[in-house]
């Protein structure tokens, strides 16, 4: 059976979470909404409509959603030519591919944004497929995108590991029955990731790569894992 290495992108492979925070803050400000950046940060990782519902509530004027999302996309698009990859992100993907893991990206990024993110990572040769929340009924934290990624990889849940940086990632993976690894480089505390289901937590892709042989990847997502070294 195939083995699947599933990866969130923003905050996991690219250092882009705070760019999203800034762009959502400005988009919301332009729309007349004052929302604390701390609250926006905790919502990053949700699809746009769900993020707005999380921040503004279900009683908001939903007719504004498209305008707010478009403003965010326009602002974020100004960074497309200089999105920063996290240290060793490409090396991690290539090492997993070398070990015969099928690498699948799991993201809510739209096509142009995803293209920019993949250019930043620079490891297309190691990536098997991309699963988007746009292609399923519900995005993270629902398990749908993770299940789609498993289908694309042709792998069962017990032969997969999901790596992400938010509680939404951990909940989505756990809901799909997939072992999950948390990274601290997205800015979410270790305790929050563990409470949401992370079996192990590392500082960043470089830290995970350095401990790969004692991570959930060493056991196909089963037992015998290193608890991680991130602080």
Q: Which CATH architecture has domain 17-78?
A: Orthogonal Bundle (1.10)
How far lies 49's CA from each of 55, 104, 111, in Å?
10, 24, 17
Q: What per-residue string of b and e applies to 30-50 under the rule 16 or more CB within 10 Å gives b?
A: ebebebeeeebbbbbbbbbeb
C-alpha torsion angle, residues 17, 19, 21, 23 (rounded to 10): -150
The CATH code of the domain at 3-16+83-219 is 3.40.50.1000
Would you kindly state where each structural domain of the chain is located, as residue ranges?
3-16+83-219, 17-78
For the cut 80, the answer to whether the pLDDT of residue 228 exceeds it is: no
- The predicted model scores a pTM of 0.94
Give the tokens for residue 180: 């999950």
Listed in sequence order, the residues at least 6 apart from 137 whose beta carbon sits closer than 8 Å to its beta carbon are 144
pLDDT at 135: 81
How far lies 39's CA from each of 50, 106, 159, in Å?
14, 23, 35
Q: Name the residue with tokens 């749908």.
A: 144
Give the separation between CA 139 and CA 14, rounded to whole angstroms: 20
Q: pLDDT tens across 35-72, in order?
A: 999 999 999 999 999 999 999 999 999 999 999 999 99
């Amino acid at each position: 059976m195939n083995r699947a290495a599933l990866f969130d992108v923003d905050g996991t492979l690219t250092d882009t979470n705070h760019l999203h925070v800034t762009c959502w803050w400005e988009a919301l400000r332009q729309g007349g909404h004052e929302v604390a950046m701390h609250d926006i940060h905790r919502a990053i990782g949700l699809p746009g409509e769900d993020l707005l519902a999380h921040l503004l509530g279900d009683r908001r004027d939903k007719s504004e959603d498209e305008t707010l999302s478009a403003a965010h996309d326009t602002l974020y698009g100004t960074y497309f030519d200089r999105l920063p990859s996290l240290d060793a992100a490409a090396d991690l993907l290539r090492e997993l591919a070398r070990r015969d893991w099928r690498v699948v990206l799991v993201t809510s990024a739209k096509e142009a944004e995803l293209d920019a993110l993949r250019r930043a990572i620079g490891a297309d040769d190691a990536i098997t497929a991309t699963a988007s929340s746009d292609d399923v009924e519900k995005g993270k934290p629902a398990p749908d995108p993770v299940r789609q990624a498993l289908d694309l990889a042709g792998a069962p849940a017990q032969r997969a590991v999901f790596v992400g940086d938010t509680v939404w990632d951990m909940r989505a993976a756990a809901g799909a029955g997939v072992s999950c690894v948390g990274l601290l480089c997205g800015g979410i505390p270790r305790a929050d990731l563990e409470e949401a289901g992370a079996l192990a937590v590392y500082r960043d892709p470089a830290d995970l790569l350095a401990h790969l042989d004692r991570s959930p990847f060493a056991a196909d997502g089963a037992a015998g894992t290193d608890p991680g070294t991130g602080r």
